[in-house]
Amino acid sequence: MNGNNLPSKADVVKLYQSNAGITAMRIYDPDSATLTALKGTNIKLIMDVDNSNLGSLASSSSAAASWVKNNVQAYYPSVSIKYIAVGNEVTGSDTSKILPAMKNIYSALSSAGLQNSIKVSTAVSTAVIGTSYPPSKGAFSSDASSYMTSIVQYLSQIGAPLLANVYPYFSYVGNKGSISLDYALFTSSSTVVTDGSNMYQNLFDAIVDALYSAMEKVGGSNVGIVISESGWPSAGGDSATVSNAQKYNQNLINHVGKGTPKKSTALETYIFAMFNENQKTAGIEQNWGLFYPNKQPVYSISFK
């Protein structure tokens, strides 16, 4: 939504529906025009609690009840809300607000009888992983462990997955000396990393399995992962080309149904982003879209 030239919310929903295979959406705050446009479409939805609202929702159960009433009950089940992401890549002192806000939102959903229909979670970046190699040694950093341990245990208790934003692109451009482009784009023809009995041909699997390992170490062996963002920029920076973006996203779509070497469960995955957004910072940030603002595809892709 960070563009001044984007289609109307209703037209965006029609674009989703015209591309068979796009069955779900993520929005980063409860935008009423989008929610209205989604009514009756059966498009599944991750809806975020904006980071700026974490404080009030963490400290007030009545604020959480109001949030759920206004943004969930007002639209559900006509809008297929599947997950509520309580914060996105929260950092610093605000991390202490994530779990209390999650608990208050969950309690409000329970009061409305919706706790089994809509899952409560939070979306994290892979910066929470302190040790990632080999994947079986994956562990949260000491900083992240201070809040992720209790969050993972709570997710285990309520039967919800962790939402994770996973970007091999950033790992690759930051470590070109040790990571090949083929490994990042799912195009390696052979095993690159062997970790016990698990063999890795792509960086995405290695990152996801490091996160699974980190959760296991803090009591979350039964917590699933939903990939709440992944993608590759098509312009504006290092290795950001239409060809690389097309390869990464098409290979991602073709791959995630198989799961990872550690867990063969299909990974529900959300590609970032629908559009190139001209109000983002210049460079790669403006070029993650699958579509241009005029609704034409940036490159051909099959969502099935």
Q: Per-residue pLDDT tens for 104-151?
A: 999 999 999 999 999 999 999 999 999 999 999 999 999 999 999 999
pLDDT at 291 over 90: yes
Q: How far is CA 122 from CA 161, 223, 284, 303, in A?
A: 9, 13, 25, 25
Mean pLDDT of 80-86: 98
Give the pLDDT score at 21: 81
Phi (first) and psi of residue 175, to 5 degrees: -140, 45
With contact defined as beta carbons under 8 Å apart, do 33 and 9 qualify?
yes
Give the pLDDT score at 217: 98
Percent of the chain with pLDDT over 70: 100
With contact defined as beta carbons under 8 Å apart, do 240 and 189 qualify?
no
Catalytic residue (choose from 229, 268, 277, 285): 229
Mean pLDDT of 63-72: 98
Determine the 3-state secondary structure of 291 from DSSP. Answer: strand
pLDDT at 20 over 90: no
Give the pLDDT score at 162: 98
Mean pLDDT of 160-174: 98
Mean pLDDT of 159-163: 98
Mean pLDDT of 145-166: 98
The per-residue pLDDT of the chain, averaged, comes to 97
121/135 Cα distance (integer angstroms): 23
Determine the 3-state secondary structure of 131 from DSSP. Answer: strand
- Decide if 216 is catalytic: no
Q: How far is CA 270 from CA 153, 228, 230, 266, in A?
A: 24, 5, 6, 13
Catalytic residue (choose from 89, 216, 268, 277): 89
Give the pLDDT score at 194: 98
Phi (first) and psi of residue 134, to 5 degrees: -70, 165
The counts of H helices and E strands in the chain are 10, 11
Give the pLDDT score at 304: 84
Give the pLDDT score at 176: 95
Mean pLDDT of 230-257: 98
- Decide if 229 is catalytic: yes
**Any bridge partners for residue 271, and if so which?**
230
Strands 129-131 and 139-140: antiparallel
Confidence of residue 193 (pLDDT cuts 50, 70, 90): very high
With contact defined as beta carbons under 8 Å apart, do 225 and 162 qualify?
yes
226/250 Cα distance (integer angstroms): 18
Longest dimension (CA), the chain: 55
Give the pLDDT score at 240: 98
